[in-house]
Structures are given as structure tokens and as C-alpha cells.
Amino acid sequence: MKRVNLYIIPAAIAALTCVASCGHTQQQQKGIDMANLDTSVAPGEDFYQYACGGWMKNNPLPAEYSRYGSFDQLSQDNLAHLKELVLGLDRNAADGTNEQKVADLYDMGMDSIRLNNEGAKPLEADLARISSATRDSIIDLMATLPGVDVFFGTYVGADLKDSDVNTMYWGQSGLGLGDRDYYTDDSERSVKVREAYRNYLKTIAGLIGYEEGAANRLADNVLTLETRLAEQQMTRTEQRDIQAQYNPMTVAELSAKYPAVNLSRYFADQNLNVDTVIVDSPRYFETVDRVLNDTDEQVLRDYVTASYVSSAAPYLSDAFIDANFELSKAISGVEEQQPRWKRAVGVPNGILGEALGQLFVEKYFPETSKTRMLTLVGNLQEALGQHIDSLTWMSDATKARAREKLANFHVKIGYPDTWRDYSKLAIDPSKPYWNNIQEAIVFNQDYNNSDYGKPVDRERWLMSPQTVNAYYNPTTNEICFPAGILQPPFFNAEADDAVNYGAIGVVIGHEMTHGFDDQGRQFDKNGNFADWWTKEDAKAFNELADGLVAQFDSIIVAGDTHANGRLTLGENIADQGGLRVAHTAYLNSLNGTEAPVIDGLTPEQRFYLAYANVWAANIREDEILSRTISDPHSLGRWRVNATLRNLQPFFDAFGIKEGDKMFRPEAERVIIW
């Protein structure tokens, strides 16, 4: 029942800053934290190390993290705030109130004694249903049993070519390891991950009562079947081709084309009357149809069982949680589980996000921050307009359309105007923790399905206010900055403008540039997937984009593994655009005045150092390799070094010249926006 995620061009920056000042003020004098620097390294040698080496030394990687950076610090600060809010809730609140639901979910997650006593008992009824399933009834389990995530997912979202109306999407899913490359790649690391997955599958099978022989059978069956599926799934790079994934078909056509899938029965089980579906990968669903038709029923049952138990594992006894953690160790290299309170807070934070968000913004997000942020966004929009006007590779006709799209940006700051209603979600502490999670899965499934055929609600938020993140959504042409990123330490009211524009200013510019990256540029001002470019301009853009891909492809991230410039193209375009646009906005803010030198650093130097400090982090090699496979964002070191090597103002700021490692000859630079 797990849905494919709603298509959003990935939120540029995983976790970032707050309100910068809206104009130049001589009173704000605090510059860069000099302890962040490693002055033993010249900026022209390795700028990331120069800018962040001190931070990395002073903030060693905690055992519970595979990567820990400056924005992770903000996330942890916010999580501590949420814990304080949850602990302060009235444990005698009336049943059905948000307070009761949040408090009970947290308390159930903290009750390790009860969870360990229950063991696998909360799964028994559902496992019995799975064990008696026939080939034909597998589709019923997919449609109605919360926790089963096999073969595919469906979700409701804006029609990419008619962005005012919600439609149904059908997408590939169902791999326990998440990414197809873990199954298809025979590198030493992928083999290690698959072996860890096999051990995990055998462990959870044993925890639900399987004898050793049956546990081995389940592990073998699941890996064999998932490998068959993975071989036909789109790669993450292929998933960047929006047109290839837009394949509208009627349910009647799909039922004829994929009879073993029986999609009409799947929707009927959910009481949905669906006529048309957008299919993301017809090739993949041909394989799903064959698998459902020719695979032994016991193999299918083992596959569904593994998926279901994996979904439940984080909400069961310590034995299940430990098994889950051992797998994550193999994938990311993390050494230690997060403490129980963090995991427990994360559950209501995800399920009842806006309920907690209301409490969060009341205490931690002053209205003045929202006002200042709106002003700053306006400054960045003006600067991006200047960049569009000055492009030499784009025609006047396309520039006019780009300007229209920019002017039509819908800006969301802090929190939604209307809060989500959770009254239909029942949280009952007399039931096992996992059963309450299932209630939440069904609640969210129904919430999404209820939008089918209705007008798109452009005021709905796709993140909770306390989230440390930001996003651009192409189908609503919106940029969103939740209150969670608008907190110290990244915004400092005492900091000078160069620092704030280099941090939050770049974040804003980054999200705006997503509207014009390799994917976002394919949507018009109203959010429709439409071609508004001249052929010549599109060709020029693609040639520049290919140049940026080549730059990042040449980077070696670890061992002999290269970065994936095509997978990360959208984020790399947005990083560069954010830097350039924010720099212009900063210069505009000076109004011809001269900014001061602070701690021996010029304002230009502080701007670029502030950007680099956003990405200060320590990271494990396993996590580097994992992210290179699956993450559309480049690693922090390269978001800094590789991006800055295209920018002449950066070279000028630090006196970087030919012969320095950070220098890139002008003929080899790529500038898009």
C-alpha cells in the first residue's frame, strides 16, 4: 500500500538556513566563525577543506550518524525542541485530540518493555492472511494490507499536463534495498550489501517463527524475485526523463495489457473508481505481469511476507529493530543506533506533522522572520530576473516566457495558512504500536486517494513546518521554506549581509533555479509540462548542461568510484544558479556603499565562506558510495569545490589563479543561469 512519492523536483538543499537581512546595514558586524577554517590549507588548493576543515575537526562524526554536518546540527536542535513539546503535552487530554494522539504515539514508542513482551504477536493475524494467499489474491493484499509494499505503488497527484486537476499515477516499487543498482551491480560493496540483506531476511524470518530451512528459502526467494524486478526497473538517471514516464492509459487498457496485475481489482478493493492512470514504466510492468503469472505461489508469499515484516520492524521489539539496524550498518556504515527518544519523536513528527508543527511555530517562529523572508525572496527574484535578461545563449522570446514563469512563483514561508485535519485518525494505546502505525498508513492512503479527480489544492504544503528542508514543486510552480530551516544557528540577526546572503540567500536562489533546471524548465508558469522554449534555446541549454554533467562525472568520490553528473544535474544547476543569483542580490543590496572587512575577510570572501560552511560535514565512505548511487544531490565537498570552480567572482575574491587546483580555465567553465 505504500505509494510512490509525489513528483517533486528534489528539494535543493537538504537542510538549511533562516532569514537573512533584507538590505545592507552597517550595524550588523558578525562575520564568519573563524574556528570553522583550516588555514593550513590554501583556498586555491582545496577551498572546502580551507573553509570547513576546522568545523570538521571540532565536530567528529558521532557513532549514530553516517553523515553529520552543520545542517544536521539544526535538525537535532529542532528534534530536541519537538521532544520538549511532546513531553509537555497533557497525558490526560481528551481522546481524539491531537494532543492525545501525539502523546500516545510517543509513549508507545518509548515503552520498550511492552514492545519486547509482545514480540511478533502484533503481526500474527496479518501473517496468517498472507500465508493463505493465492496468486490471484496477492493483489488484494497489496491494496488493503497496510505495510505491504511489493511490485508497485499508486498515488494521486497533479496531472503533469493539466496541473489544475489531480489524477492517478502508477509507479515502480517493491525492492527491499530501495535501489535497483544494489541488485544489478557486482562490485565488492554491492555483493556485501546483498549478503547483509540476505542475513537480515533470514533473521526476521526467524523472529516470526520460521525454522532455519524455511528462513533460508524465504531469503533466497526474495533476493531472486527482487533481482528479476530490479533488472527491468528504470535507473535513477532514467527517472529524470519526465516525458518517458508520462504514459496515460485507461484502466481497461491496462487490464488487457497486464491481466495478471488486475489493476481494476486493485482499485475496487480500495473503493476507488479510477478510469485513467499515468504509467511511469511500461517495460517494468510487463515484467511484473509475467512474475505474477509464472512465479510459484510460495515465492510470492515469501516476498509479501518479507515486505510486510520489514515495514513493521521499526515498531516492534528490540530484536526486530536490531536486525533492521544491522542492515543499515552495511549500507551506510553507521555504527550506533539513534537513542530511542529520537526514534519515538520521529513517529508523531511524521504521522502528525502539522499537529506538532502548530506547536513548533508558536514557540520558535516569530512573525518577523516570515516578513523578512518574504522581502528577501523578492530581492532574489529581482536578481534572477536580471540574470535571465543578461543571458547570451537565450533568445528574447524565451526570455519573456522565463520572466513570466519567474513572476508567477508561488512563495510559501514558515507554515500553512490552513492546518491539516487529523480528526479521522484514531490512535488507541490499548492496541499494539504497529497496529496504530497501520491505522496511520490507511489514513494517509485515504487522504491521498480522496483527491482523485478533484482540483489541485495549491495551498497544501508538502512538508511540515518543522522540517529542516526546502523545495520547489513544478506542478504548482512554488517555492517553499518551512519554519524548520528558518532557525539559528544558520541565520544570525547579528551577522552581516554577506554571510546571510551566502547562506539563506543561496538557498532561496537555489530553489528558484530549480524552476529552470533540466527538469523544472520543462514546466510552464502554470505548472504544466509544456515546451515553452525555442528549439535553438533548448539546444543551447542542453549543450551547457552536458558540459556540467561532464565536470561532475570526472570527480572521483572514493576509491575508483566517480560521481554521477547526470543524476545530480538538476541540483548542480541549482547550486550554481543559487550562488550566482544570491551574489547579485547581495551586490544590489549594497546600493553602491562599501561593506566592511571583518576579521580580515572581505565581504566577497565571507559570502563564499558562508556558502561552504552550509556544507561542512563529516561522512563515512559507505555513505559516500550509497549516496553516489541514489542521491540526486552531489556530496557536500563537490557542491562547494566543483561548483565554485566555474565562478570568476570566487576566483577574484581569493586571488585564485592559473596553476591553483581550484582554478578552471575560462574556456572550460560552464555558466547556465
- Where b means 16+ CB within 10 Å and e means fewer, 528-541 reads bbeebbeeebbebb
Is 511 annotated as catalytic?
A: yes
Q: How many residues are there in the chain?
A: 673
- Where b means 16+ CB within 10 Å and e means fewer, 199-228 reads ebbbbbbbbbebeeeebebbbebbbebbee
| Helical ranges in 59-97 per DSSP H | 70-87
From 575, 604, 623, 631, active-site residue: 575
Is the bond preceding residue 282 a cis peptide, omega within 30 degrees?
no
Q: What are phi and psi of 557, to 5 degrees?
A: -90, -30
Strands 617-619 and 67-69: antiparallel
Contact residues for 636 (Cβ-Cβ < 8 A; gap 6+): 48, 69, 615, 616, 617, 619
Task: Supply the DSSP string of 364-390, one letter for each residue.
Answer: H--HHHHHHHHHHHHHHHHHHHHHHHH
Q: How far apart are CA 268 and CA 23, in angstroms?
A: 57
Q: How far apart are CA 118 and CA 385, in angstroms?
A: 60
Is 186 annotated as catalytic?
A: no
Bridge partners for 355 per DSSP: none
Q: 110: buried, middle or exposed (CB in 10 Å: 19+, 13-18, 0-12)? A: middle
Contact residues for 412 (Cβ-Cβ < 8 A; gap 6+): 461, 478, 479, 480, 481
Question: Residue 396 corresponds to which cell in the numbers above?
Answer: 528574447
Question: Residue 522 corresponds to which cell in the numbers above?
Answer: 520543462
DSSP state of 149: -
Q: How far apart are CA 308 and CA 359, in angstroms?
A: 33
Cβ-contact 478, 8 below 8 angstroms: no
End-to-end CA, the chain: 41
Bridge partners for 276 per DSSP: 250
Q: How far apart are CA 194 and CA 200, in angstroms?
A: 10
Q: How far apart are CA 601 and CA 31, in angstroms?
A: 8
Q: How far apart are CA 297 and CA 275, in angstroms?
A: 30
From 126, 140, 354, 511, active-site residue: 511
> Which residues are catalytically annotated?
511, 575
